[in-house]
Structure 1
Amino acid sequence: MADSEQMPAVKEFLLNFFMPEKCYDEFFLHFNFAHGEANKHPQLPQIWKVLKAGSAQGLSLASALLGLYAISGYVAYCIARGFPVG
Protein backbone atom coordinates (compact mmCIF):
# COMPACT_ATOMS: atom_id res chain seq x y z
CA MET A 1 0.00 0.00 0.00
CA ALA A 2 1.42 3.40 -0.98
CA ASP A 3 1.95 6.15 1.61
CA SER A 4 -0.77 8.26 0.00
CA GLU A 5 -3.26 5.41 0.51
CA GLN A 6 -2.54 4.98 4.22
CA MET A 7 -4.86 6.88 6.53
CA PRO A 8 -3.32 8.24 9.74
CA ALA A 9 -4.75 6.68 12.88
CA VAL A 10 -6.19 9.97 14.19
CA LYS A 11 -7.96 10.70 10.91
CA GLU A 12 -9.32 7.15 10.74
CA PHE A 13 -10.60 7.41 14.33
CA LEU A 14 -12.29 10.76 13.70
CA LEU A 15 -13.91 9.60 10.48
CA ASN A 16 -15.17 6.37 12.04
CA PHE A 17 -16.57 7.82 15.25
CA PHE A 18 -17.04 11.59 15.04
CA MET A 19 -17.52 13.12 11.61
CA PRO A 20 -17.86 12.55 7.89
CA GLU A 21 -14.85 13.12 5.64
CA LYS A 22 -16.33 16.38 4.32
CA CYS A 23 -16.27 17.86 7.84
CA TYR A 24 -12.76 16.53 8.47
CA ASP A 25 -11.57 18.31 5.32
CA GLU A 26 -13.24 21.57 6.37
CA PHE A 27 -11.73 21.45 9.87
CA PHE A 28 -8.24 20.14 9.30
CA LEU A 29 -7.41 20.95 5.68
CA HIS A 30 -9.19 24.28 5.16
CA PHE A 31 -9.36 25.38 8.85
CA ASN A 32 -12.96 26.45 8.25
CA PHE A 33 -14.53 26.09 11.70
CA ALA A 34 -17.62 28.09 10.67
CA HIS A 35 -18.71 25.54 8.05
CA GLY A 36 -22.40 24.79 8.63
CA GLU A 37 -22.23 21.00 8.49
CA ALA A 38 -18.99 20.90 10.44
CA ASN A 39 -20.46 23.08 13.22
CA LYS A 40 -22.26 20.00 14.53
CA HIS A 41 -18.90 18.99 15.97
CA PRO A 42 -17.91 22.08 18.04
CA GLN A 43 -15.91 20.16 20.64
CA LEU A 44 -13.25 19.05 18.18
CA PRO A 45 -11.32 22.36 18.04
CA GLN A 46 -11.30 22.39 21.85
CA ILE A 47 -10.08 18.77 21.99
CA TRP A 48 -7.39 19.61 19.46
CA LYS A 49 -6.17 22.54 21.58
CA VAL A 50 -6.08 20.42 24.75
CA LEU A 51 -4.08 17.70 23.00
CA LYS A 52 -1.68 20.24 21.52
CA ALA A 53 -1.18 22.04 24.85
CA GLY A 54 -0.92 18.83 26.85
CA SER A 55 -3.11 20.30 29.58
CA ALA A 56 -6.81 20.80 30.27
CA GLN A 57 -6.18 23.66 32.68
CA GLY A 58 -9.08 26.11 32.68
CA LEU A 59 -11.72 23.64 31.55
CA SER A 60 -14.65 22.85 33.81
CA LEU A 61 -14.96 19.13 34.61
CA ALA A 62 -18.61 19.58 35.62
CA SER A 63 -19.40 21.26 32.30
CA ALA A 64 -17.66 18.52 30.33
CA LEU A 65 -19.49 15.80 32.25
CA LEU A 66 -22.86 17.49 31.74
CA GLY A 67 -22.17 17.72 28.01
CA LEU A 68 -21.25 14.03 27.89
CA TYR A 69 -24.39 13.17 29.85
CA ALA A 70 -26.58 15.14 27.44
CA ILE A 71 -25.13 13.60 24.30
CA SER A 72 -25.12 10.11 25.85
CA GLY A 73 -28.85 10.40 26.54
CA TYR A 74 -29.51 11.41 22.96
CA VAL A 75 -27.41 8.58 21.54
CA ALA A 76 -28.96 5.98 23.86
CA TYR A 77 -32.48 7.10 22.90
CA CYS A 78 -31.68 6.95 19.18
CA ILE A 79 -30.12 3.50 19.49
CA ALA A 80 -33.04 2.18 21.56
CA ARG A 81 -35.57 3.46 19.00
CA GLY A 82 -33.54 2.41 15.97
CA PHE A 83 -33.05 5.98 14.76
CA PRO A 84 -29.91 7.05 12.92
CA VAL A 85 -27.45 8.80 15.20
CA GLY A 86 -26.01 12.00 13.83
Structure 2
Amino acid sequence: MNFGTDPQAPTPEPEAHRIVGAFLDAGHNLIDTADTYRGGSSEEIVGRAIASRRADVVLATKGRHRRVPGPTAEACRGSI
Protein backbone atom coordinates (compact mmCIF):
# COMPACT_ATOMS: atom_id res chain seq x y z
CA MET A 1 0.00 0.00 0.00
CA ASN A 2 2.89 2.36 0.63
CA PHE A 3 5.04 1.66 -2.39
CA GLY A 4 5.97 4.82 -4.25
CA THR A 5 8.03 7.94 -3.78
CA ASP A 6 5.49 10.58 -2.78
CA PRO A 7 5.75 11.89 0.81
CA GLN A 8 2.83 9.73 1.90
CA ALA A 9 4.49 6.56 0.54
CA PRO A 10 8.22 6.76 1.06
CA THR A 11 9.15 3.33 -0.31
CA PRO A 12 11.01 3.68 -3.62
CA GLU A 13 10.46 1.02 -6.24
CA PRO A 14 13.80 -0.81 -5.81
CA GLU A 15 13.11 -1.18 -2.08
CA ALA A 16 9.56 -2.35 -2.81
CA HIS A 17 10.95 -5.02 -5.14
CA ARG A 18 13.34 -6.14 -2.40
CA ILE A 19 10.49 -6.35 0.14
CA VAL A 20 8.23 -8.31 -2.21
CA GLY A 21 11.10 -10.61 -3.18
CA ALA A 22 11.94 -11.34 0.47
CA PHE A 23 8.25 -11.99 1.17
CA LEU A 24 8.03 -14.50 -1.68
CA ASP A 25 11.39 -16.08 -0.82
CA ALA A 26 10.10 -16.67 2.72
CA GLY A 27 7.37 -18.87 1.26
CA HIS A 28 4.44 -16.47 1.31
CA ASN A 29 2.27 -16.03 -1.76
CA LEU A 30 -0.81 -13.85 -1.07
CA ILE A 31 -0.54 -10.17 -1.97
CA ASP A 32 -3.55 -7.91 -1.45
CA THR A 33 -3.53 -4.55 -3.22
CA ALA A 34 -5.88 -1.95 -4.73
CA ASP A 35 -5.79 0.56 -7.52
CA THR A 36 -6.57 3.32 -5.01
CA TYR A 37 -3.31 2.88 -3.09
CA ARG A 38 -1.14 5.90 -3.88
CA GLY A 39 -3.23 6.73 -6.93
CA GLY A 40 -2.48 3.36 -8.47
CA SER A 41 1.31 3.61 -8.28
CA SER A 42 1.57 1.08 -5.46
CA GLU A 43 -0.39 -1.51 -7.45
CA GLU A 44 1.75 -0.85 -10.54
CA ILE A 45 4.93 -1.35 -8.51
CA VAL A 46 3.59 -4.61 -7.08
CA GLY A 47 2.84 -5.76 -10.63
CA ARG A 48 6.38 -5.10 -11.77
CA ALA A 49 7.81 -6.66 -8.61
CA ILE A 50 5.98 -9.96 -9.17
CA ALA A 51 6.22 -10.06 -12.98
CA SER A 52 8.91 -12.73 -13.16
CA ARG A 53 7.22 -14.83 -10.45
CA ARG A 54 3.56 -14.23 -11.30
CA ALA A 55 2.72 -17.95 -11.36
CA ASP A 56 3.80 -18.17 -7.70
CA VAL A 57 1.56 -15.36 -6.45
CA VAL A 58 -2.09 -15.22 -5.43
CA LEU A 59 -2.96 -11.60 -6.17
CA ALA A 60 -6.04 -10.01 -4.62
CA THR A 61 -7.25 -6.53 -5.48
CA LYS A 62 -10.29 -4.36 -4.96
CA GLY A 63 -12.45 -2.95 -7.70
CA ARG A 64 -15.05 -0.94 -5.86
CA HIS A 65 -13.61 2.55 -5.60
CA ARG A 66 -14.18 4.99 -8.44
CA ARG A 67 -10.89 6.33 -9.83
CA VAL A 68 -12.05 7.67 -13.17
CA PRO A 69 -15.40 8.81 -14.57
CA GLY A 70 -17.26 6.61 -16.99
CA PRO A 71 -19.37 3.46 -17.25
CA THR A 72 -16.57 1.04 -16.38
CA ALA A 73 -15.38 2.99 -13.34
CA GLU A 74 -17.39 0.80 -10.99
CA ALA A 75 -17.60 -2.42 -12.94
CA CYS A 76 -17.95 -4.47 -9.76
CA ARG A 77 -20.79 -2.42 -8.26
CA GLY A 78 -23.62 -4.69 -7.28
CA SER A 79 -21.57 -7.85 -7.67
CA ILE A 80 -19.68 -7.55 -4.40
Structure whose residues are more often helix by fraction = 1
Q: TM above 0.5, one fold?
A: no
- TM-score of the superposed pair, with normalisation by structure 2: 0.31
- TM-score of the superposed pair, with normalisation by structure 1: 0.30
Rg larger in 1 or in 2?
Answer: 1
Structure whose residues are more often strand by fraction = 2
Higher relative contact order (CA 8 A, sep 6+): 2
